[in-house]
Structure formats: C-alpha cells, structure tokens
Amino acid sequence: MTKALLLIDIQNGFCPGGNLPVEDGDAVVSVANRLMANGTYDLVVASQDWHPANHGSFASQHPGKKPFDMGELSGQPQVMWPDHCVQGTQDADFHPDLDTDRIDFVQRKGENPAVDSYSAFRDNDKAALTGLADWLKAKAVTELHVMGLATDYCVKFSALDAVDMLPGVKVRLIADGCRGIDAKGVEDAIEAMREADVEIIDSSRIGF
C-alpha cells in the first residue's frame, strides 16, 4: 500500500491577504503540516496555481468585466477571477508557514492562458493533462488523501478527477483540511464528491 497526500493550492493568493483570499484559508496550513509530520504518508504532492499574467480567467483580460462576473473561456462558462497566483509573484508562492521541505513533488497548473485549470490533473476542458495521474500511477499509489483550497473549486475538481483517472485508488477528502469560497458551493461540492465515492474524513482519524 502506498499512501499519498495531495495538497491543493495552499498558496498566498488563496489565503488572507492574497489576491483571491478564501476566508480562513490559512487555517489549513497547520493541518497539512501535522499530517506531513506524522509519518502516515509515503508521498506528499502539492499543486500550485501558476498563471501567466495574461490568463484568460482574469477579469482584467476582458474589457467591461469585473471580478466574479460570469464570462466564457474555451467555450465554457467561466467565473472571471481577480488576477491571482501569477507566475513568479509572491501571490503564487506557497504559504510561508507550509512545511515545503516535506513535499516530494509539485504539480503546477493553469499555465495555458486559453483555459482554466481547477483540477491538479487536467485543464477544465479536459483536453490537456498535467501528468499528475501518470506520476501517481508510476509510484503505485493505492490511497490518495486530498485537502486544501478551495473546497468548491480546485479541491472538488481534483478529487473528482482522481476518482476518474486513478481507477482502483481509494480517494478520501480531509474535510477539516479544506476551506471554501461559498457556503452553498462547499455543501454541493461535498455532496458531489460523496456521490463519486470519495470518502469524507477528518484529520483526527489519520495516523493516530
């Protein structure tokens, strides 16, 4: 059995003070550090939003659009986000308190300006793969625990893609290690993950 922990986008941009902050987002850092330190996981992977400055999901790239308006990108409805996690900026860095020395592999995503990439596994149009699924398969991962930011976007899509793209791997969501943007969105995301056979667990059950 090979157990892996997947940390989703625990970056300055999604924490208080960042360009697209999730309320209480920095609270997940201590959960991640505790889990990485307790010896439960054989591998730790972290995804990192890594957008070019002209990314098409940014409201700034669409005249007349404001952050959180709805628009279109790659033929799909798209939330217009504030500029966030631009490559090489402090906003894109991992949270400074995150114990990055324990991370074995970083999967960057969202680099194509023409399509958004919520999932750590593939772009939103499902055309381009990041390569993370193949990396985990090569490591013979049998159980994957997912946590991070934000529950109703990147965490949800990553967990659902893990179920879809890693047949035979048990996927679990560490609920207290996540924070979301919208309360109703979080509720719907948890339900969607549960329906896809993602087991919803609490970090207190892990490694003790």
Catalytic positions are: 9, 109, 154
Distances (CA, A) of 67 to 91, 109, 150: 17, 21, 17
Q: How far apart are CA 50 and CA 85, in angstroms?
A: 6
C-alpha span between 78 and 64 (Å, rounded)? 15
**How many residues does this entry show for the chain?**
208
CB 179 within 8 A of CB 27: yes
- Cβ contacts of 184 within 8 Å, gap of 6 or more: none
How many Cα atoms occupy the beta-carbon half-sphere of 204 within 13 Å? 1
